[in-house]
Structure 1
Amino acid sequence: MNRRDALARVALIMGGTVIGADFFLSSCSSPTKEDKAAVKTAKPVPQKPDFLSPQQVSFLDEVGETILPTTKTPGAKAAHVGQFMAVMVRDCYEPKDQKVFLNGIAQLDVDCQKKQGKTFLDSTPAERTAFLTALDAEQKAYSATQPKDAPNHYFRMMKQLTLLGYFTSEVGATQALRYLPVPGRYEGSVPYKKGDRAWAS
């Protein structure tokens, strides 16, 4: 599955456009002046600093696991969606969306504390699901009436990146979906049984 196909599927699931899609399709961030200088002088390209702390990455893994929990197939945590989000937001989001996303990590916990009387990590799986379901309804209502220059909703970003990260990961593509690295001959009509997994390739 290529990047464009993955984005199209996530957009279809989300019922709208994917935040940062233009950057995703153009391989995200372009080289900095320091990167170009390092290449010219044959020096190692400097490593970008971590965008999120290990605690924040772990927190996003738990959010992702609530969105796509482990069932008969591995969930979002097995695909390390927290680390995926950290890289994608750092490299592919505009600064204004990066700020919304960062603030959203703390805001999610604050909102959970207000509604449930406990933090997200202290909540049971059922409580986490109920909270994120309500938060998803909130972001859908916000996105439907969002003015052009208004900031994006942080949970929309988290949900989109969870889906994109999971279904383009090895576990998502090979265990939640069906994957053939080298497709065979063209089959114009393939029998389908209810419950069959979708194809990743």
Structure 2
Amino acid sequence: MNRRDALKKSALALGAAAGAPTLLSLLQACAKQDRLTWTPIFLNEDQARFMTAFVDFLLPKTETPGGLDVKADVFIDLMYAKTYDEAGQKYVVSEIEKFNTDCKEKYGNVFAELSVEDKAACFKDHESNSPKYAPKVWGTAVGPQEPVGFYRGLKSMVLWAYFSSEEVGKNILSYDPIPGDYLGCIPLSDVGNTWSL
């Protein structure tokens, strides 16, 4: 063996040894990503997977952060654990089970395991069959508000968690922690972006 061949083989061996951890991490990254990246407080793992899938489908990451980027699923789990009474918690658990059972019957699997197309069809079905919020004037409902059900209530909570997050409030919406003069009557065109504060 000449010196040039020995150097090539040594370089290949060194490259394989150095690159093995990188290749292993790539293989692991390509594995199915259905495991949770957070530890739920109230929800069990299957319910937490449902919540993560629901949040991610409703608010996927685009050029702006998605619902999972601001940890809306983690926040909702904490809300259920800390602010819901026992009856409310039982309701949430039973409604998640009903939602998943409905998905199995119509699409063949639980919500977290559905294709994007089936998730869209599921959302469309729930959107058309869920009661709506009553119209509001200055934040107050006009007329009586019937219960909106689990789907619309959860959707509303996810949106609230997202838009209340520090990331969205400071970096997506307009933010001015020390506002200037009060201008009570200005053209809407001068307002610009939606304000978080």
Q: Matched residues in 1 for 2:196 and 2:147: separation?
A: 32
Change (3 A) 1:190 1:181: farther
Q: In the alignment, is residue 163 of structure 1 matched against residue 159 of structure 2?
A: yes
Aligned residue number for residue 174 of structure 1: 170
The percent identity for this pair of structures is 27
Distance 1:185 1:67 in 2: 37
Cα distance, 1:190 vs. partner?
Answer: 5.8
- Name the structure 2 match of 1:100: 91
C-alpha RMSD of matched pairs (Å): 3.0
- Which of 94, 98, 103 is residue 112 of structure 1 equivalent to? 103
**Contact 2:75/2:161 (CA < 8 Å) preserved in 1?**
yes
1:60 and 2:43 equivalent?
no
> What is the CA-CA distance between 1:200 and the residue it aligns to?
0.7
1:13-54, Cα deviation, whole Å (9 max, x unpaired): xxxxxxxxxxxxxxxxxxxxxxxxxxxxxxxxxxxx921235
Q: Does 1:84 align with 2:75?
A: yes
Shift of 1:162: 0.3
* Equivalent pair of 2:60/2:66 in contact (CA under 8 Å): yes
Residue equivalent to 1:10: none
What corresponds to 2:179 in structure 1? Answer: 183
TM-score where L is the length of structure 2: 0.62
- Which residue of 2 is the match for residue 3 of structure 1? none
Specify every segment of 5 or more residues in structure 2 that has no aligned partner in the other structure, as ranges: 1-39, 135-143
Distance in 2 separating the partners of 1:192 and 1:126:
38
- Structure scoring higher RCO (CA < 8 A, sep ≥ 6) equals 1
| CA–CA separation in structure 1 for the residues paired with 2:168 and 2:189 | 20
1:192 to 183, 189, 192: 189
Distance 2:51 2:151 in 1: 11
Structure 1 residues 157 and 82 mapped into 2: Cα distance closer, same or farther (>3 Å)? same
Q: How does 1:6-21 map to 2 (within 5 A)?
A: none
Q: Would you say the 8 A contact 2:54–2:112 is kept in 1?
A: no
